[in-house]
C-alpha cells in the first residue's frame, strides 16, 4: 500500500536532491549544493576544504547514479528515484551512509573551523539552510541531530541522521 503521506515524504526527499528544481537529479545538483555551502562559509573552491567538498559531492552523485540511474542517461528521474533509490536505500541504509559520508564529512569540516571534528548547532543549521532547508526548521533540525546531547554535531550524528531521513519507511 502506498499512502499519500509516503508519497509526500518521497517528494520532499526528491526535492532536497533536485537542488535546481528542474525535475531530475544530476551531477549539477550536487555541484550546486557544494557551491552554495562554500559561499555560505566563505570558503574558496580551490582550497583544500573546497576540493574535499567537490570530491565528496562527485562521489555522492556517482553513488546515487549507481543505485538509481537505471537507463544510464546521467539523470535520476522521479520514477528512478522512487523505484530505485528509495527502495534500495531503505533495504541498505549503511550503503547510503557510505556514499554520503565523504560529502557530509567535508560539509562538517566547513562548519568546524577549529578542526575538532564537530560543529555547533548554529553552524550546522547554516549547512542545512545552504542545502535548502527552510530557516524556520533548520535550527530545530540541527538541534535534533545532536543525539548525544553534547551541544555539538559530530560526523556520526550527521551521517546516521541523514541516512535515516532518506530511508523513508513505507
| Residues in touch with Ca ion (CB under 5 A) | 18, 20, 22, 29, 69, 71, 73, 75, 146, 148, 150, 152
Q: Cell numbers at residue 116, please?
A: 575538532
* Pick 29 or 53: Cβ nearer Ca ion: 29
* Pick 32 or 168: Cβ nearer Ca ion: 32
In whole angstroms, the minimum distance from the beta carbon of 22 to Ca ion comes to 4
* Pick 66 or 113: Cβ nearer Ca ion: 66
Instruction: Tell me how far apart the alpha carbons of residues 92 and 37 are, in angstroms, rounded to a whole number.
Output: 28
Instruction: Tell me how far apart the alpha carbons of residues 58 and 165 are, in angstroms, rounded to a whole number.
Output: 21
* Pick 7 or 20: Cβ nearer Ca ion: 20
CA angle 13, 32, 60 (to 5 degrees): 60
Using CB atoms within 10 A of its CB, is residue 67 exposed (0-12), middle (13-18) or buried (19+)?
buried
In whole angstroms, the minimum distance from the beta carbon of 153 to Ca ion comes to 6
Backbone dihedral angles phi then psi of residue 8, each to the nearest 5 degrees: -65, -40
What is the DSSP track for 26-90?
-HHHHHHHHHHHHHHTT--TTSHHHHHHHHHHHHHHHHHHHHH-TT-SS-EEHHHIIIIIIHHHH
In whole angstroms, the minimum distance from the beta carbon of 111 to Ca ion comes to 13
In whole angstroms, the minimum distance from the beta carbon of 121 to Ca ion comes to 9
* Pick 59 or 157: Cβ nearer Ca ion: 157
In whole angstroms, the minimum distance from the beta carbon of 159 to Ca ion comes to 12
Amino acid at each position: 500500500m502506498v499512502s499519500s503521506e509516503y508519497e509526500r515524504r518521497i517528494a520532499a526527499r526528491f526535492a532536497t536532491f533536485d537542488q535546481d528544481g528542474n525535475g531530475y537529479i544530476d551531477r549539477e545538483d550536487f555541484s550546486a549544493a557544494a557551491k552554495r555551502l562554500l559561499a555560505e562559509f566563505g570558503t574558496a573552491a580551490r582550497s583544500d576544504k573546497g576540493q574535499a567538498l567537490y570530491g565528496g559531492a562527485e562521489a555522492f552523485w556517482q553513488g546515487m547514479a549507481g543505485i538509481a540511474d537505471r537507463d544510464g542517461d546521467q539523470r535520476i528521474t522521479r520514477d528512478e528515484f522512487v523505484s530505485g533509490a528509495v527502495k534500495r536505500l531503505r533495504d541498505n541504509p549503511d550503503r547510503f551512509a557510505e556514499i554520503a559520508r565523504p560529502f557530509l564529512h567535508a560539509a562538517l569540516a566547513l562548519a568546524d573551523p577549529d578542526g575538532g571534528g564537530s560543529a555547533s548547532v548554529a553552524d550546522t543549521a547554516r549547512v542545512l539552510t545552504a542545502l535548502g532547508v527552510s530557516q524556520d526548521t533548520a535550527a530545530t533540525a540541527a538541534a535534533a541531530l545532536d543525539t548525544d546531547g553534547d551541544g555539538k554535531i559530530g560526523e556520526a550524528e550527521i551521517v546516521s541522521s541523514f541516512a535515516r531521513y532518506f530511508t523513508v519507511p513505507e
